[in-house]
Amino acid sequence: MLTLADHILDIAENSIRAGAGLIEIIIEEDSSNDLLTIIIRDNGCGMSADMLQKALDPFYTTKTVRRVGLGLPLLRDAADRSGGTFQIFSQENSGTSVTATFGLHHLDRQPLGAIINIIIILIISNSDVDFFYKHRHNDQRFEMDTREIRKEIEDIPLNHPEIIKYIRGMLEEGLREIEPES
């Protein structure tokens, strides 16, 4: 995986396979502490203690199409390489939370990548799932919640082209507003 956005997509897809109806994606850039934190939480089926222990083994997967499960181990490795940390918490029937921290300016930190495209892909592909996206850069923050958008659009599907265009515009404008000045 070349970018952190790729990791986010992979973990969110795991959440969808776990039956999540809500996935929270939180990105926090903290310049004063030189930290980038990514949190992905879901309300899916969660994992047993035994499954949680196996989840970080690259040779364990619940997928039937391949014999390896590299998503979580690769994210943990990416965090470790940049001087960060990795935590995963899960409880059966209560969902899962993955938190990875990275050295914000660390030479080995992967770039964030095309996060807007990843959010759009997730919404288009999973219009029955709700996504809460929060991005904070120091004291500036942006939030997008598909539950709020659904209230406004009523019976129009979330993945309707005009709604996707609106969401993309909202994401672009919101992230531009919190971007640090160069």
Average pLDDT over all residues of the chain:
91
Is residue 26 over pLDDT 80?
yes
CATH for 4-178, among 3.40.50.700, 3.30.565.10, 3.30.1360.70, 3.40.50.720?
Answer: 3.30.565.10
pLDDT at 181: 67
Q: Assess contact for 10 and 38: CB atoms under 8 A.
A: no
How far, in Å, CA of 175 to CA of 182, rounded? 15
**Nearest-10 crossing angle of helices 115-125, 161-178:** 150
What share of the chain has pLDDT > 90, as a percent? 81
Is residue 55 over pLDDT 90?
no
Q: Assess contact for 116 and 7: CB atoms under 8 A.
A: no
How far, in Å, CA of 31 to CA of 164, rounded? 31
> What's the average model confidence in pLDDT over 65-88?
82
Band the pLDDT of 15: cuts 50, 70, 90.
very high
Domain ranges of the chain: 4-178
